[in-house]
Amino acid sequence: MRNVRLLWGIIGLLFAAVAALSFIAMRSVFPHVESENRNNPPSSSSEQQHIVAVVGNKQITAGQLQSNLNARYGNDILNQMLDQEVVRLEAEQLEIKVSRSEIDNELKRMQQGYDGEAEFYKAMKDQLGMTKEQLREDVYYRLLLEKIAIKDVPVRDEWVDEYIRLHPEEFKKPAELKIQQIIVGNQEQANKVLDDLKKGADFAGLAKDRSLDDATRNSGGDLGWVEENDPFVPAPVLKAAKGLKKGEVSKPFELAGKYAMIKLNDRKEQGGETADGLHERVRKELALREAAPLPEVTRKLREKWKAQITDPEFGT
């Protein structure tokens, strides 16, 4: 599901720059903030003078690094910390909790479109700079905030049932297809590729040598896992893939003025939710539509708990 991956990439553009270096920066901003399982003292002067890099005769110290991190990312990180703290305080006051299983279920939902859990966490690390622990923490605070936002929003059972009845297409789980493709300039080139495949040539090797598609050529034409109705994949590709069995190669077909052939490497059907699980998910979605936007909820929480930045270096 490439659209899910794209959405995460957009969401994480800012976080990608921040998260990879946030540990050092946060120690500079709030040296007293510690892990639940550690008790580290504030950075000493010697630590600030510790040499972390050398360029020729130029030495770069930990203090210089932290100063640059503060200047670039300190405001973002500090605001994120304040947001999380006011959410925690409000949830504690309202006795709202998020269980480990709720976090696990949300992470499983986010993994749709990835070829397993390991690939998902690797993508989050590569694209967003987020470790597994950081991602769990991010999900934890988001779920807490959502519960706070919808706590006083009534959603009756009949409303949920009616929505499910009127929107069945939203809850049908489409099959996922693992596809490779080769794009060439004309029918003659396509037939030559098809002949070579019939003689036993490797599909990925031919894609690397002959495909005109810059996005997939170097990976052997690999499109990865895509949903059978993925709007980011051309309709002729999906139509051809649906007619193939695992391991089969399509006949050449026209695609945006060129010719394409695809190979279906695998297919998997997605399991449906339980009735109770679907009912609760829809209830939450309907409540969130009626609730105040989450940024507005966060702003009001910051006012309530008198959260403010006091150091002018990090704004107000």
| Sequence ranges of the domains in the chain | 2-153+291-314, 176-268
Q: What is the pLDDT of residue 63?
A: 93
Q: What gap in Å lies between CA 94 and CA 235, rounded to an integer?
A: 49
pLDDT tens track for 89-147: 999 999 999 999 999 999 998 987 787 899 999 999 999 899 999 999 999 999 999 99
Fold of 176-268: Chitinase A; domain 3 (3.10.50)
Q: What gap in Å lies between CA 155 and CA 280, rounded to an integer?
A: 10
The Cα-based distances of 191 to 203, 239, 259, 263 in angstroms read 14, 20, 10, 15
**Hey, what amino acid is at 298?**
T
Positions of the chain with pLDDT lower than 70, given as ranges: 1-44, 271-272, 316
How many residues are there in the chain? 316
Q: What is the pLDDT of residue 172?
A: 79
Q: What is the pLDDT of residue 81?
A: 96
Q: Which long-range contacts (CB under 8 A, 24 or more apart) does 253-256 make?
A: 255/183
Q: What gap in Å lies between CA 64 and CA 252, rounded to an integer?
A: 59
Q: What is the pLDDT of residue 314?
A: 87
Q: What is the pLDDT of residue 277?
A: 86
Q: What is the pLDDT of residue 75?
A: 93
